[in-house]
């Protein structure tokens, strides 16, 4: 009777194979759960899930309940490999990621996210019942085992299993073992599956954790103090970007997810916190592509009595430190280029870079000549752009992307960077750098503007008559006096793309933003 699936009318397999019948004979009470499932109208799902539920019930009936309790292991699997010692009795656990069953023995690989480890299960060691039950395990199940370490003929570290227990039953099948999960959409939507079946993905995210920890170590070691400033802001300042909007009921005010922590960190500098940094999420209500996610992680650092040069030294030391301590190398492959982080990095003033690429006489040219050159380079120029804007457009579209090795662009025109101090020798230029690596902007740094009158003026220009956007609290903080300050912002996700050789920001963010599935 259980052969008939009422829903489809199709036949289903007889769940009672010979080996299973052997189990049933020894414990007839296990018939009940099997029948409940097989006969149940609720028994839905695909063939695999159905099969695994049957296996689960048979395991439960023979003394292996499907969802166990905490398991005290001797060590994690990577530690087990590291401290391998033949003959040692150990307890180990993990998810079954490969299984090779034979008549009276089986080999299995378990993985706990740190490493894989081979298990050998033999009938004569376990006894008939426990061995038969072991053969009911499915790929993906999580088990704990106890046994002796030894090395196989093929010289692989292995546990000879004397006891085992089921810790968690996997009801859904894992992706194919050889190709893993490659469907990009499924990988992002079901990151857990991605992590289980693609070890290199796990590796990237472990590196992410290490990098963030090491950044903190590095900065803490230099006396920088990590702080947390508001994510919910009533005025979204510190950058020019569209914010996400929310409403705070208790105060009946609209609030914004922050687009940058800058204005709060500067308040702390005013308050006397000498060296501060914040490494956390920013939110920008903008497009989504290979290098942009609406929430992204940014490291902002401010140092009182410093300037752009302070930041220049800091970022070179920090990046090479990360490269050497975490990755053990100084060269990285990224987006088809080899990038060498060996310091000192090249520094070139903006105007020199332009002349280098567009000719010595570039800044003597007129607007029409510049536009003609833009056209020649297939750079689109908007109506009404002036000479500086045309120049910058050409820079943006053709020069920046060609700077593969780390390059500091300095002495930018003040129009491009409204929140920085001007250069001592030229009020038209600002004392900043933009760090370009692999043709991508990685970090800007400023000698911060600390003149409150000038700051107010620039805010007013930026707000364009919309007074409600002015952060008056910040301006009055500045009026109490902010020391000369060096500041820098580093896009952590992009840094991680570089260090891990990832081409897409989604590959370094665990749960990237996706459209809802229709």
Partner RNA sequence: GGGCCGGUAGCUCAGUCGGUAGAGCAUUUGACUUUUAAUCAAAGGGUCCAGGGUUCGAGCCCCUGCCGGCUCACCA
Chain residues binding RNA by CB under 7 A are 10, 13, 15, 17-20, 46-48, 51, 55, 98-105, 107, 109, 118, 120, 122-124, 138-139, 152-156, 158, 173, 175-186, 188, 239-242, 284, 286-287, 289-290, 380, 382, 396-397, 503-504, 506, 514-518
Which C-beta is closer to RNA: that of 25 or that of 515? 515
Which CA distances in Å does 136 have to 59, 125, 291, 303?
Answer: 7, 17, 45, 62
Closest CA to 14 of 24, 27, 32, 1: 1
Smallest separation (angstroms) from RNA to the CB of 239: 6
**Beta carbon of residue 38, minimum distance to RNA (angstroms, whole number):** 13
Q: What angle do CA 300, 323, 499 make, to 5 degrees?
A: 75
DSSP state of 289: B
Provide, rounded to whole angstroms, the least separation between the CB of residue 424 and RNA. Answer: 27
| Smallest gap from residue 112 Cβ to RNA (A) | 17
CA dihedral 385, 387, 391, 397 (to 10 degrees): 20
Residue 150 CB, nearest approach to RNA (Å):
7
How many angstroms separate the Cα of 92 from the Cα of each of 13, 73, 145? 35, 5, 5
Min. distance of Cβ 21 from RNA in angstroms?
8
Phi-psi region at 72: left, alpha or beta (left = phi > 0; alpha = psi -120 to 50) = beta
Query: At its nearest, how many Å lie between RNA and the CB of residue 249?
Result: 29
Q: How far is the CB of 6 from RNA (least distance, A)?
A: 15
Nearer to RNA, 51 or 405 (CB): 51
Q: How far is the CB of 147 from RNA (least distance, A)?
A: 12
- CA–CA distance, 85 with 471 (Å, rounded to integer): 64
**3-class state of residue 157 by DSSP:** strand
Asked whether the beta carbons of 137 and 143 are under 8 A apart, the reply is yes
Q: Judged by CB, which is closer to RNA: 6, or 153?
A: 153
Nearer to RNA, 241 or 463 (CB): 241
CB-based contact 465:506 (threshold 8 Å): no
On whether the CB atoms of residues 345 and 407 are closer than 8 A, the answer is yes
Please identify, using beta-carbon distances, which residue of 124 and 376 lies nearer to RNA: 124
Nearer to RNA, 48 or 363 (CB): 48
Q: How far is the CB of 452 from RNA (least distance, A)?
A: 22
Tokens standing for 247?
């409403």
Which residue's entry shows tokens 């859904």? 172
Smallest gap from residue 101 Cβ to RNA (A) = 6
Q: Reduce the secondary structure of 310-321 to three states and give it as a string.
A: HHHHHHHHHHHH
Long-range contacts for 90-93 (Cβ within 8 Å, ≥24 apart)?
A: 90/146, 90/147, 90/148, 90/149, 90/159, 91/144, 91/145, 91/146, 92/117, 92/119, 92/144, 92/145, 92/159, 93/142, 93/143, 93/144, 93/145, 93/167
Question: In the structure encoding, which two tokens stand for residue 405, read together?
Answer: 């090795």
Q: Whole-angstrom Cα distance, residue 65 to residue 59?
A: 6
Please calculate the CA angle 291-297-299 and round it to the nearest 5 degrees. Answer: 115
Nearer to RNA, 4 or 453 (CB): 4
**Calpha distance 197→383 (Å, rounded):** 52
Q: Which helix (H) or strand (E) holds 459?
A: helix 452-463
CB nearer to RNA: give 83 or 127. Answer: 127
Shortest spacing between CB 124 and RNA, in angstroms: 4
- Closer to RNA by Cβ: residue 72 or 378: 378
176 sits in which H/E element: none
Nearer to RNA, 164 or 224 (CB): 164
What are the phi and psi torsion angles at 344 (to 5°)?
-75, 150
Nearer to RNA, 55 or 410 (CB): 55
Using the minimum distance from each CB to RNA, give the nearer residue, 25 or 69. 25
């Amino acid at each position: 009777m259980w052969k008939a699936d009422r829903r489809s009318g199709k036949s289903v397999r007889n769940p009672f194979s010979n080996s299973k019948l052997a189990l049933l004979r020894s414990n007839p009470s296990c018939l009940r759960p099997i029948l409940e499932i097989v006969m149940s109208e609720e028994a839905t799902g695909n063939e695999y899930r159905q099969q695994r539920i049957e296996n689960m019930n048979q395991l439960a009936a023979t003394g292996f309940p499907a969802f166990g309790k905490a398991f005290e292991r001797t060590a994690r699997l990577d530690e087990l490999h590291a401290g391998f010692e033949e003959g040692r009795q150990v307890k180990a656990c993990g998810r079954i990621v490969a299984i090779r069953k034979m008549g009276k023995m089986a080999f299995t690989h378990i993985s706990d996210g740190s490493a894989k480890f081979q298990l050998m299960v033999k009938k004569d060691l376990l006894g008939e019942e426990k061995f038969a039950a072991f053969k009911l395990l499915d790929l993906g199940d999580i088990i704990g085992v106890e046994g002796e370490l030894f090395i196989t003929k093929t010289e692989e570290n292995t546990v000879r299993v004397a006891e085992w227990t089921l810790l968690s039953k996997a009801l859904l099948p894992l992706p194919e073992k050889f190709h893993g999960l490659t469907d990009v959409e499924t990988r992002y939507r079901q990151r857990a599956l991605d992590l289980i079946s693609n070890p290199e993905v796990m590796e990237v995210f472990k590196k992410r954790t290490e990098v963030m920890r090491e950044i903190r170590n590095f900065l803490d070691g230099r006396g920088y103090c990590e702080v947390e400033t508001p994510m919910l802001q009533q005025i979204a300042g510190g950058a020019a970007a569209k914010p996400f909007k929310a409403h705070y009921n208790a105060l009946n005010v609209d609030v914004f997810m922050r687009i940058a922590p800058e204005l709060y960190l500067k308040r702390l500098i005013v308050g006397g916190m000498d060296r501060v940094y914040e490494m956390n999420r920013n939110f920008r209500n903008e497009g989504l592509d290979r290098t942009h996610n609406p929430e992204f992680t940014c490291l902002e650092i401010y140092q009182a009595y410093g300037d752009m040069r302070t930041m220049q030294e800091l970022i070179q030391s920090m990046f090479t430190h990360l490269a050497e301590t975490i990755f053990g190398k100084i060269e990285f492959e990224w987006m088809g280029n080899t990038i060498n982080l060996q310091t000192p990095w090249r520094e070139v003033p903006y105007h020199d870079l332009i002349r280098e690429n567009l000719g010595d006489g570039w800044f003597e040219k007129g607007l029409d000549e510049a536009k003609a050159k833009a056209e020649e380079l297939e750079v689109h120029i908007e109506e009404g752009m002036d000479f500086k804007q045309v120049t910058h457009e050409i820079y943006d579209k053709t020069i920046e992307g060609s700077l593969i090795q780390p390059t500091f662009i300095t002495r930018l025109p003040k129009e491009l960077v409204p929140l920085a101090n001007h250069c001592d020798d030229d009020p038209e230029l600002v004392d900043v750098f933009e760090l370009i690596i692999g043709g991508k902007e990685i970090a800007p740094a400023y000698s911060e503007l600390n003149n409150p009158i000038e700051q107010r003026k620039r805010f007013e220009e930026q707000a364009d008559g919309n007074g409600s956007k002015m952060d008056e609290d910040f301006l009055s903080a500045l009026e109490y006096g902010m020391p000369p300050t060096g500041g820098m912002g580093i896009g952590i996700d992009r840094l991680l793309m570089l260090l891990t050789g990832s081409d897409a920001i989604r590959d370094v963010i665990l749960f990237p933003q996706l459209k809802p599935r229709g």
